């Protein structure tokens, strides 16, 4: 599936995957302009997304999720390249990722970046690369959801704080930060 947010559109919820059931092999969500409250690369409340890609090159979003709201995703990739966002999660809102999350920040402004999920959902491995833009906090882990291990590489981004772990969540393996 290919989903685009363009022009001066204002959207509440945007999903790359399905609503309550079904498997989506690959979802591609492009945030180019406009406003959205919540953007999800994965499914809403059921089914599964194998691979989700969220590419945010413009516009304004409250929360961007590589995964689904309550549905499992195998692998996620989020590229931040010009968007203004409050929170970016490699994982889901209340959903697990079975393999890994990848976040690549090139430019833009984000208050908080989380490699893992928000409220719940285990993520075995998170990867964050930040080479440009501005962010207040980078967390290798989730906000409240635990992860296995995290890898963060920073080169050129302006960030006030960087944590290998989560905001209020555990890490069950190693954290690696390369500056």
Alpha-carbon gap, residue 65 to 138, rounded angstroms: 15
Residue 8 has pLDDT above 90, yes or no: no
For the stretch 32-60, pLDDT in tens is 999 999 999 999 999 999 999 999 999 99
Alpha-carbon gap, residue 33 to 67, rounded angstroms: 21
Its pTM stands at 0.98
For the stretch 55-107, pLDDT in tens is 999 999 999 999 999 999 999 999 999 999 999 999 999 999 999 999 999 99
For the stretch 106-164, pLDDT in tens is 999 999 999 999 999 999 999 999 999 999 999 999 999 999 999 999 999 999 999 99
Q: Which helix (H) or strand (E) holds 171?
A: none
Which residue in 11, 95, 19, 94 sits closest to 27, CA to CA?
A: 19
pLDDT at 7: 87
Cα 25 → chain centroid: 18
């Amino acid at each position: 599936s290919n989903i685009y947010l363009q022009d001066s559109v204002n959207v509440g919820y945007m999903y790359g995957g399905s609503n309550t059931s079904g498997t989506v092999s690959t979802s591609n969500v492009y945030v180019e302009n406009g406003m959205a409250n919540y953007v999800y690369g994965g499914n809403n409340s059921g089914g599964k997304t194998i691979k989700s890609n969220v590419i945010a090159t413009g516009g304004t979003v409250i929360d961007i999720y590589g995964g689904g709201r309550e549905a499992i995703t195998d692998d996620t990739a989020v590229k931040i390249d010009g968007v203004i966002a409050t929170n970016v999660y490699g994982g889901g809102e209340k959903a697990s990722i079975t393999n890994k999350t990848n976040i690549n920040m090139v430019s833009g402004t984000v208050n908080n970046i989380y490699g893992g999920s928000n409220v719940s959902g285990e993520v075995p491995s998170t990867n964050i690369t930040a080479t440009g833009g501005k962010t207040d906090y980078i967390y290798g882990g989730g906000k409240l959801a635990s992860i296995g291990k995290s890898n963060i590489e920073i080169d050129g981004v302006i960030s006030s704080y960087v944590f290998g772990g989560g905001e209020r969540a555990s890490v069950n393996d190693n954290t690696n930060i390369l500056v």
